[in-house]
Structure formats: C-alpha cells, structure tokens
C-alpha cells in the first residue's frame, strides 16, 4: 500500500465519494430504530421477532467482516463499495415491498451484507490516500459523517414514514442508493493516480485461515476486537432498535420527542468524533486510557437508567446518559487504529475485519438479549420494569467486553515492551507503569 506525504484535493474528493456510501449504510442500518413499531404492526411481530430483524442484519454484518477484509485485499475498495451500494439498495427495495416476515428477513440480510462491505473499504481508501498522521482524524470524521446518516434516519425518516408511508419511504431510499453505485464505480480510485496499485495475488482457500489466524494472533488485533466490542455496542443497540420503544413505551414520550431524544445519540457522535480523532492522532498513547474511562462512565449511566426510583427517568437525565453513551462510537475507532498500527499493510483489511466483528457481535448478542427478555416478562411486569430487566443484557455485554479489553490491553503493552527490548521499532511509545510488572491474566 502506498504511503503518501500529504492529502491532495483529489484525495478528499475520492474520500467524499466513498464516505457517501458509508453514510447510506448507516442510514439503512438504523432505519428500524424509528420504524420498529411500524414494522411490528406491518408484519404482526412480538418483541423477540422484531429483534430478529436487527440481529439478522447485524449478524450477517459480523459474519461478513473477515470475508470483506479478504475481498478488499484482493479486489480493492472501489469494486467492493460499488457492490455494497447495489446490495443495500436492493435490500431496502425488497424491504419496502415485503408483505411477509420471511421476505422482510431476506431483505434485511441482503442489506446487512451490503452494509458489511462499506466501512472497511472506506478506511482502506483513507489508508491509501492520506498520510499516517491524519489516519485517526479522517477515520473519526468518516464516523461522524456516517452519524449524519443516523440523524436522517431519526426525525426526517419518521416524518417521511408518516406522510409518504412505509412502501414509498423505503423505495426511494433503496432506489437512490442503488443508483449511487454507478457514481462509486466511476469516481473512486483504490490508490492515488501517481501510484501504481499493487496486484494482489489470489489467496487459495487453504491459505485464508492461516492469514486470518496470523492477524488474530497479534495482541493489538485482539485488543482492538475487545475495544470495539465494549465501546460501540450499547449505543448501537439503543440507536438501532430498542431506544425508540424504550422511550415511547417505558418513558411515555411521544413519537416526535422520542425521535428527537435519539437524535442526541447522533449529534453527540457528530460533535465528538473529530475531537476524539484529533486527540488520538496527536496522543496515541491516550487511546486506551480514554476507552477505559468511557467504560466506567457508561456503566454508571446504565446504573442511573436501570435503578432510577419508580422507573420513569427524568428527560434531562436520559439526555445526559445518552450523550455519555454516544461517545463510545467515536472512541471505538481506536480498534481500527490498533489493527493498522500492529499489522503489516497486506493484512490490515483482514485485521480491520476481525476487530469490526467485535462490536457487531456485541450488538447482536445484546439486541437479541433485550428482545428475548422482553418477551419473557411482557404482560407480567410494567413497561418500566420490563425494560429494566431487558437492558440488563446490555450491561452484561459491556461488563464482559470491558474485562476482556483490560486483559488484552495489558498483554498488548507487554508485547510492545518486549519488542522495544529486542530493538524493534514500535508504532506507539508507551511508558511503563507499576501494574505492567504484575502477572498478565
């Protein structure tokens, strides 16, 4: 992969073309966050069946991460992003006309497959067209602009669903996305024009697993996996599906107020992403301490939501907790920086796919857990108490992810110190702490 000295106007134009595909991906991914109740009525679904929509979509996304990394390494991000836009458009059109639960599931699976191909492709574009010192910042800006897609999927989509109806709202969204695949194919470039793109050799099937295993064996990749698992999961579960029903059914908000409150998740991510990205770019040694502090504040926020007396949480408290949780999205970008820092260029997309699996695996487990628990207690407990029980799955995922992240943080630090002792160059200089001398679990 080429290493450029500075970003040019062409670099930013190519990145803009790519990031619009990611914008569409986040929009389509989060549509059920505000259309969940309409989907329940359209298909006649209970909470667990509704949760399967998101679990299937995100599950396909997670399963596709390693194949996507291999595809990007083999065919380049331009071709992969073109196919991604076609798949997302097709999936949303199918969802618009679906009259049965089965066809709806097929549509979300196709959508999840296209969605899965976007982010890794975009960050490969960033790695090829921008200098290393700008990588974390540009990835953070990418995530922030993806958050605009989430914002469009809240209040504007709610209004469109109310005026144009289910079919037309999703038909328009799907048709525009599919048409944009032509723009992506014509405008994107895998590498800058003054570089020659390396011709990757086809990887025989028997060599795919060893390549994945090599990436997984790097402590920095494992750390990235668990950092992504723990930081992005709970805000995603709220934004993708369960935040809207929670605010309407358990907290008694109107549809408009609930959509506006969910918009805080997006606005917070948009505002904090460039700040976090710039901070990580200038001070890479701060990445993991910041992630650790976020987990502590996130657990405290969940404690407020779940243990508030009476179950009806004041709107300002909900707003503050949502804003705290949303910072996890920008912070989760540390996972991709770790994959890039500690893996050679020919394995970076594969490593990025592995760390991306972490977050979406956590989302899948937490979202399914909420749906199953709601089904078990529905009609037995009040809506407030039911969501308290259901959201405990989010807290469990956060706690497990945080524990494993801390374990691999210490192991990754030990690997860095060992490399320094051997006289090898390391991507980030770390200071030894007293706890580094303790035995790694």
The model's pLDDT over 313-368, given as tens digits with 9 standing for 90+, comes to: 999 999 999 989 888 888 988 888 888 888 877 777 788 888 988 988 898 888 88
Q: Among candidates 290, 12, 2, 287, which has minimal Cα distance to 141? A: 12
What is the domain extent for residue 308? 9-201+208-425
In our burial notation (b when 16+ CB lie closer than 10 A, e otherwise), range 226-255 reads bbbbbbbbbbbbbbbbbbbbbbbbbbebeb
Least confident of 75-79, 83-87, 202-206: 202-206
| Mean per-residue pLDDT over the chain, rounded | 84
**Greater pLDDT, 27 or 82:** 82
**Residue 58 has which token pair?**
């995100």
Lowest mean pLDDT among 47-61, 243-257, 275-289: 47-61
Compute the residue count for the chain.
Answer: 441
Cβ-based burial of 29 (10 A; exposed 0-12, middle 13-18, buried ≥19): buried
Q: What is the pLDDT of residue 290?
A: 92
Alpha-carbon span 256 to 134, nearest angstrom: 39
Residue 438 forms part of a structural domain: no
Which residues make beta-bridge pairs with 381? Answer: 378
| Band of pLDDT at residue 206, cut at 50, 70 and 90 | low
Residue 28 pLDDT greater than 90, yes or no: no
Of the candidates 359, 399, 337, which has an alpha carbon nearest to the alpha carbon of residue 123? 337
The pTM score is 0.75
Report the C-alpha gap between 397 and 58 in whole angstroms.
16
Spatial neighbors of 38 by CB under 8 A, at least 6 apart, are 161, 166
Residue 135 burial by Cβ neighbours in a 10 Å radius (0-12, 13-18, 19+): buried
Q: Is 298's pLDDT higher than 90?
A: yes
Find the mean pLDDT for residues 64-88: 89
DSSP 381: B
User: Exposed (0-12), middle (13-18) or buried (19+): which is 310, by Cβ within 10 Å?
Assistant: exposed
Which tokens hold the place of 295? 């987990």
End-to-end CA distance of the chain: 36
Quick one: pLDDT band at residue 198, thresholds 50, 70, 90?
Answer: low
**Range 391-430 burial, b when 16+ CB lie within 10 A, else e:** bebbbebbeebbebbbebbbbbbebbeeeeeeeeeeebee
pLDDT grade for 436, boundaries at 50, 70 and 90: low
d(CA 407, CA 223): 8
d(CA 436, CA 441): 12
Q: Taking a C-beta distance cutoff of 8 angstroms, is the pair 36, 42 a contact?
A: no
Q: Mean of the pLDDT values across residues 181-190?
A: 93
Tokens of 350: 């594969």
Q: Can you tell me the distance from the alpha carbon of 81 to that of 142, in angstroms, rounded to the nearest whole number?
A: 15
- CA dihedral 344→348→354→357, nearest 10 degrees, is 160
pLDDT (mean) for 191-211: 67
Q: What CATH number should be reported for the domain holding residue 289? A: 1.20.1250.20
386's tokens: 């039911």
d(CA 380, CA 85): 44
From CA 291, how far away is CA 17, in angstroms rounded?
30
What is the pLDDT at residue 155? 66
* Per-residue CA distances from 406 to 47, 185, 288, 342, 438 (Å): 34, 42, 9, 18, 13
User: Per 3-state DSSP, what percentage of the chain is helix, strand, and coil (rounded to 5)?
Assistant: 80, 0, 20
Is 2 part of any domain? no
401 pLDDT above the threshold of 70: yes
Domains identified in the chain, total number: 1
Better-scored residue on pLDDT, 132 or 398? 398
Over range 170-179, report the average pLDDT: 90
What is the share, in percent, of the chain residues with pLDDT greater than 70?
A: 92
Please give the C-alpha separations between residue 276 and each of 118, 199, 310, 402, 413, in angstroms, as whole numbers. Answer: 22, 35, 36, 19, 22
* Mean pLDDT (whole number) for 113-136: 87
Least confident of 70-74, 77-81, 159-163: 159-163
Does residue 159 carry a pLDDT above 90? no
pLDDT exceeds cutoff 80 at 440? no
Q: Where are the beta strands (DSSP E) in 183-243?
A: none
For residue 180, pLDDT beyond 90: yes
pLDDT confidence of 154, banded at 50, 70, 90? low
């Amino acid at each position: 992969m080429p290493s450029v000295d500075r970003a040019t106007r062409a670099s930013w134009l190519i990145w803009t073309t790519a990031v619009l595909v990611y914008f569409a991906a986040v929009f389509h991914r989060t549509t059920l966050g505000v259309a969940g109740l309409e989907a329940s009525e359209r298909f006649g679904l209970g909470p667990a069946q509704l949760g399967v929509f998101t679990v299937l979509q995100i599950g396909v996304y997670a399963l596709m991460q390693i194949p996507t990394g291999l595809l990007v390494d083999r065919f380049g991000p331009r071709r992969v992003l073109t196919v991604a836009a076609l798949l997302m458009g097709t999936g949303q059109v199918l969802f618009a006309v679906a009259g049965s639960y089965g066809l709806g599931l097929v549509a979300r699976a196709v959508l999840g497959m296209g969605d899965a191909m976007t982010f890794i492709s975009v960050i490969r574009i960033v790695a090829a067209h921008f200098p290393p010192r700008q990588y974390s910042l540009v990835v953070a800006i990418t995530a922030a602009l993806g958050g605009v897609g989430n914002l469009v999927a809240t209040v504007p989509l709610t209004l469109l669903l109310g005026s144009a109806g289910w079919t037309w709202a999703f038909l328009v969204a799907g048709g525009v996305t599919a048409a944009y695949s032509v723009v992506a194919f014509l405008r994107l470039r895998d590498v800058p024009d003054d570089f020659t793109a390396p011709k990757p050799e086809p990887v025989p099937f028997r060599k795919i697993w060893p390549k994945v295993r090599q990436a997984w064996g790097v402590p920095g990749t494992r750390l990235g996996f668990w950092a992504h698992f723990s930081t992005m999961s709970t805000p995603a579960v709220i934004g993708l599906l369960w935040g809207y029903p929670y605010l309407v059914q358990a907290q008694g908000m109107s549809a408009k107020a609930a959509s506006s409150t969910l918009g805080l998740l997006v606005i917070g991510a948009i505002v904090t992403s460039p700040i976090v990205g710039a901070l990580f770019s200038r001070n890479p040694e701060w990445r993991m301490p910041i992630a650790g502090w976020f987990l502590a504040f996130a657990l405290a926020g969940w404690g407020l939501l779940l243990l508030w007396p009476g179950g009806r949480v004041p709107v300002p408290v909900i707003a503050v907790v949502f804003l705290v949780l949303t910072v996890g999205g920008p912070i989760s970008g540390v996972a991709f920086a770790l994959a890039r820092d500690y893996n050679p260029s020919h394995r970076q997309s594969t490593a990025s796919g592995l760390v991306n699996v972490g977050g979406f695996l956590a989302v899948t487990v937490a979202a399914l857990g909420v749906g199953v628990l709601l089904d078990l207690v529905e009609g037995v407990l009040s809506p407030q108490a039911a969501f308290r029980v259901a959201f405990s799955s989010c807290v469990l995922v956060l706690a497990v992810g945080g524990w494993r992240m801390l374990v691999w943080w210490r192991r990754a630090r030990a690997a860095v110190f060992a490399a320094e002792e051997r006289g090898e160059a390391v991507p980030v200089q770390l200071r030894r702490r007293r706890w580094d001398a303790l035995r790694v679990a």
